[in-house]
Chains A and B, each alone.
Chain A
Amino acid sequence: MSRVNRFLLPLGGFALLVLLLVVGLKQAPDKGIIVSPLVGKPAPALVLPTLMDPSVTIDAAQRYKGQWYLLNVWGTWCVECRYEHPALLELQKTAGIPILGMDWRDDEATAQQWLKELGNPYDQVVSDKEGRVALAWGVYGAPETYLINPEGVIVTKRVGSMTPAIWEKQFLPLMEQRK
């Protein structure tokens, strides 16, 4: 081995390492991409008391029978949800379908205060204090948004903040396919 060759070895080793890191990076899980096993399946039951009046119970399947709707999972403890909120208010105006809010593992009074202060983008808000329904839906973390079609099947799901761009790219085309 010539002298020059020997001193090139570290560089070669490093190049191999970079290659490995690139592959590793590609496979690093992106939270947003995790597909729920429930996408493409009928939505699990969602029967919960409303946030405003716990004596009133809402059954999502009945209330939204034969129409598209969004399910948005949020909580006042979730900073990302606060970040997402303006986008939901925007969607309320532009999307043309109702948004069902699910307040997840939260304190009702704080949640009501939150909606009073930031505005209420939801058609209805239910409270999942124990997190049982969220489990059934496979909620991974808040915020999370599901699109459900008129047949009650979950069409797609967004883990993380909703944005107008996501709505247009990921959600809207799925609704238009059907038309």
Chain B
Amino acid sequence: MIARRRRLVLVLGIVAGVAVAGGLALQAFRSNVTFFFDPTQVAAGEVKPGQRFRLGGMVKEGSLIRQAGELEVRFAVTDFKREVPVVYRNVLPDLFREGAGVVAHGRMQADGSFLADEVLAKHDEKYMPPEVARSLKKGETRSGM
């Protein structure tokens, strides 16, 4: 009988442990998942104020501005429909350049610009983040309406 009760304790302990772990993971998931938006969605106000998200599109040709000697850069991300100005204060990745696909992680600021804390560039001519590709595709269908 004692063995049986011990076994019950064991099973209950495990169930409780799994439940706690699952609950905590779900909690972490809810508060830490970031969604992807393209400039058109941003312009349409789909992003909640203060929400952290990923902004993707192409770096607009001729939009890259840097004060000489400063780390901070500004550029515009476009989906050929709308564009969002981006501010970034870290080292840019190797493959970042105007006209190339880019994904930036960060938040919108009060002045309507996007403050990025991480910028990822597309890997080479043959690679584009699929979300970017898809949002460009979507831009096409929308403009066709």
Contact = CB atoms under 8 A, between A and B. Distances in A.
A37 interface: yes
A172 interface: no
Interface string B93-137: 000001100000000000000000000000001101010011011
Contacts of A140: 125, 128
B144 A34 contact: no
Given A35-B137, A36-B140, A40-B144, A142 B125 contact: yes
A28 B129 CA distance: 11
A37 B140 contact: yes
Given A28-B130, A40-B144, A34 B125 contact: no
Contacts of A34: 128, 133, 136-137
B130 A35 contact: no
With most chain A CB atoms within 10 A of its CB, the pick from B61, B98, B134, B140 is B140
A173 to B, nearest CB: 19
Interface string A128-144: 00010001100011100
A37 B126 contact: no
B139 A37 contact: yes
B88 interface: no
A39 interface: yes
- Chain B contact-residue range equals 10 to 19
A29 interface: yes
A140 B140 CA distance: 15
B128 A39 contact: no
SS class, residues of chain A in contact with chain B? loop
A142 B80 CA distance: 21
A54 B36 CA distance: 44
B99 A135 contact: yes
Nearest to A160: B126
Contact of B133 (A29, A39, A142): A29
A145 to B, nearest CB: 15
Interface in A4-63: 28-29, 31, 34-37, 39-40
Given A37-B139, A135-B99, A141 B126 contact: yes
B140 to A, nearest CB: 4
Contacts of A135: 61, 98-99
A37 B143 contact: yes
Given A35-B140, A37-B143, A135-B61, A29 B134 contact: yes
Nearest to B99: A135
Which are the 5 A-B pairs with shortest beta-carbon distances?
A: A135-B99, A29-B130, A141-B125, A37-B140, A141-B126
